[in-house]
Structure 1
Amino acid sequence: MTDVRPLGADEETFLAAVRAGDPARFALVTERHRRALQVHCYRMLANYEDAQDLTQETFLRAWHKRESFQAQAALRTWLYRIATNACLDFLDKRNDRTPVPAALSELPYLQPYPDRMLPEDPQDSVVARETIELAFIVAVQHLPPRQRAVLILRDVLGWPASKAADALELTVAAVTSALQRARVTMREQLPGRRLDWRSPATRELSNDEREVVKSYMDAHERNDLDGLMSLLREDLRFAMLPDPGTVLRTAKDAVDGWVSGGLFQRGLDDWRCVATTVNRMPAAVLYLRTPDNPQHRLLNLAVLHIADGKIAELTGFDVTDKPWLELPPTL
């Protein structure tokens, strides 16, 4: 089923590009949707680089299918349909090698999403903070691909069941059933969190979050393990990606692991930290200068979920080979 509507400027420009066979004009009208489509692909795939590739694949497929666009639906809707199915094709191949994860530690392909690449309109529902945070992205990965697509189309983008069914070539009954099963899984993965993700409202970091990030960075720069420990909730959930190690579930386990791994040598290591945000979450970029190195070198990115003034979840990423994050390699 499609939504019949008057032609908008996007659709008129697109149809003119199709009639003219003009790839430059085609690229101009589709490019404005790149960031929103890339966020959509990222939710499906949990990997920034794959999302970039699949967004480009979406534009290639759109060009090859351009004659099929009849303007019965918005151009944006048509592009989302293509992007969703491109992601499903990709997941069918990836999931042959990577089973549905049981834990964050089994998600080595998870990557952070740079806030500068989010759509510029802060009221756009695709950038609602709750749907770009790592906890949501990880929870979605527990869904089989088609349930994942249904949940994102229905509960994130707010599409009606008939529209989602048309995009996925399913019946409305199949979409409704898939959504019900997906919501059950999401409630299991996100206990106590809000499950209505269609609100377009976003919020900036709170003063509380900023203060905790500052204290976290200060503790690193002072090599203050006790100070760092005081910031962590006792039931801290910690993972360092892409290492496939066990997710640590207490603050003490995490700190002991850092010490045994050589990341904290009292009085020897010299840390410098820079505050940032990714996935609309507070984060700290960590640089380390060791006794045998004259420069502070980029080590990793610590993404923090802060609740009631404490760090409840800490996800570390090795970002030394991620130029798209635009982090300087040295300070």
Structure 2
Amino acid sequence: MQKFEDILHTHGDYIVRLCYTYTKEWQMAEDLTQETFLRFYEAQEKFRYEADVKTYLYRIAVNRCKTYLASWRYKQTQLMQLGQKLIAKEDVALQVEQKDESMQLYEKIKKLPVKYREVLVFYHYLDWTIAQIAQLLGCSENTVKTRLRRGRQQLGQLLEKGGAMDGPDY
């Protein structure tokens, strides 16, 4: 049986890099790595070493990452970062002109049901692939494609009308 410190030193860098591939943020990858090793430490007595420790840690880390990526907190963070990136990239004069247009578009996007809004933002603003979005949302790639198409259609209707969507916001 390996000591916990040995396991931490042997697999720590690997788990951080694994978490980073999911989150694309070093700070969050480090936090998720800590959670992974905390979970392993708490369950270490139950671990029978029939499987490789690396495989076991990998599974814990992947589950922690998926839980984080599916959380509303993560989605909110991504939307806020997107807004900050868009503002930081633009020239100040152009910013003032485009801010009104962006706010109008953002207001229209906010009126879409969440299932369409999130795929539009992840696909068009965050440049995620259909497969990545499907994995994040826990649905099929065809479902993501359908939501993208319907979201674009509804957004187009909103932009043509200049009005609000009827129906509940879910």
Structure with more of its chain in strand, by fraction: 1
Between structure 1 and structure 2, the one with the greater Rg is 1
Please state which structure has a larger fraction of its residues in helix.
Answer: 2
Give the structure, 1 or 2, with the largest relative contact order (CA under 8 Å, sep 6 or more): 2
Alignment TM-score, normalising by the size of structure 2:
0.47
**TM-score with structure 1 setting the length:** 0.26
